[in-house]
Amino acid sequence: MEKNRSSERFASPSPHDNQGERPSLLSGPMGMSAGDSLAVVAALPRRKPIYAAFAEGLRRFWKLATINRKVALGSAIIAFFILVAIFGPMFPLQDPNAISHLSNRGPSAAHWLGTSTSGQDLFSQLVYGTRSSIFWSFFTGLLVTAVSAFVGLIAGYAGGVLSEVLSMLINVFLVVPALPLAVVLAAYFPRGPLTIAVVITVTSWAYGARLLRSQTLSMRSREFVTAARASGESTWRIIFYEILPNEASIVATIFITTTIAVVLFWASLQFLGLADVSDVNWGSMLYWAQQADGLFQGFWWWFVPPGLCIAILAAGLSLINFGIDEISDPRLGSAVAAKRVRRVKRGTLSGGQVSGAAAPGGARGVPDTFLF
């Protein structure tokens, strides 16, 4: 059911609506005296104290994160990287920028992942670099999602010329090739993380915007929107307070998909040397490894770990995406999920009737959901 905030205005005042707030509506014309209102206030359910609400939120978040094996694994990976990003540099590590005379050494007790050409410790570079990589990837992912949501919702809700123009704009940006445009923009503007963030946003916002536009188009003819409009809500409120909460799950999926693309895009731009190469992060480690011909000299300890970190981060996000996909469409899932679906469906029909039909379907390998 969609959340219908506008209905609050029409509901007749009753003690159960006002969770702990002063029921001023009940006094005066409604004919209740001060003494009566006090009694009502005392009987109202109290709002939960902060720590209980926080614990409840945590519990819900945990349930969401472990709802599925894939989602659980993906969330664990992301959580690990975020923890390293926040707490990693607090550990007693060497200065990632400190040069030394130990050039291009392999992994050893002193340098867990070896050293770069200028003798910098690669393990501490990896840990310190996590902070920059994670922060900028997620920040840019959020930025892109925000822009997509903003343009997509307006394009979907507004009618007429504005909708057509925005739709044209979205399609144009979808079709213009992203990496070449990013390369050209990065060539002209000053190098730095903010430039790259803006460049990636400019080239990647259209995908989410198109999805949200089509979703909003279907939403705007629903009754709750008509009700909101009839009750005189301003257009902005309708778009961002009524329609947007109902599209929250799509926005979340867009955020995850976009962030995967952003992580890889960012790494590519850093590898090409278009970002600030003096910044310590996974992509720039790969850039410097390439500049020093690390590949051909066999310095695998330089370019394997950062690339592996990027791959694992992207894999974690993809796992979450796949897990969510599986929940919404069990046919796409693994054998375990399919079995679960079959078991549930079998439970709703009489046992003997169904088991005969299930066996041949499973044996032939054809999905048997349509047999029921």
Binding site for another protein (CB under 8 A): 70, 168, 171-172, 175-181, 183-190, 260, 264, 267-268, 271-274, 286, 290, 295-296, 298, 300, 303-304, 307, 310-315, 317-319, 322, 331-332, 334-336, 338-339, 362, 364-367, 369-370
**For residues 115 and 203, which CB has a smaller minimum distance to another protein in the complex?**
203
**For residues 226 and 369, which CB has a smaller minimum distance to another protein in the complex?**
369
End-to-end CA distance of the chain: 27
What six digits make up the tokens of 160? 């007429």
- From CA 135, how far away is CA 112, in angstroms rounded? 24
CB 130 within 8 A of CB 105: no
- From CA 174, how far away is CA 195, in angstroms rounded? 20
Q: Shortest approach of another protein to residue 334 CB, angstroms?
A: 5
- From CA 256, how far away is CA 71, in angstroms rounded? 12
**For residues 89 and 307, which CB has a smaller minimum distance to another protein in the complex?**
307
Contacts of range 329-335, beta carbons closer than 8 Å, 24 or more positions apart: 330/369, 331/367, 331/369
Q: Shortest approach of another protein to residue 180 CB, angstroms?
A: 5
**For residues 152 and 283, which CB has a smaller minimum distance to another protein in the complex?**
283
27: β partners: 32
Q: Shortest approach of another protein to residue 248 CB, angstroms?
A: 24
B/e letters for 57-75, b = 16+ CB within 10 Å, e = fewer, are eeeeeeeebeebebbbbbb
**For residues 222 and 325, which CB has a smaller minimum distance to another protein in the complex?**
325
Dump the DSSP string for 118-136: T--BHHHHHHHHHHHHHHH
CB 286 within 8 A of CB 267: yes
- From CA 330, how far away is CA 307, in angstroms rounded? 33
Q: Shortest approach of another protein to residue 271 CB, angstroms?
A: 5
Q: Shortest approach of another protein to residue 195 CB, angstroms?
A: 11
- Positive/negative CA dihedral, 171, 176, 182, 187: negative
Q: Shortest approach of another protein to residue 317 CB, angstroms?
A: 7
Matching residue, tokens 């020093």: 292
Q: Shortest approach of another protein to residue 97 CB, angstroms?
A: 23
Q: Shortest approach of another protein to residue 362 CB, angstroms?
A: 8
**For residues 96 and 333, which CB has a smaller minimum distance to another protein in the complex?**
333
Q: Shortest approach of another protein to residue 306 CB, angstroms?
A: 8
**For residues 90 and 175, which CB has a smaller minimum distance to another protein in the complex?**
175
What six digits make up the tokens of 198? 């803006």
**For residues 40 and 183, which CB has a smaller minimum distance to another protein in the complex?**
183
- From CA 341, how far away is CA 361, in angstroms rounded? 14
Which ranges of the chain would DSSP assign to H, the alpha helix? 7-10, 34-43, 50-65, 69-87, 122-157, 160-175, 178-188, 193-219, 223-230, 235-237, 244-246, 248-271, 282-291, 294-297, 300-328, 335-348, 351-364
**For residues 152 and 333, which CB has a smaller minimum distance to another protein in the complex?**
333
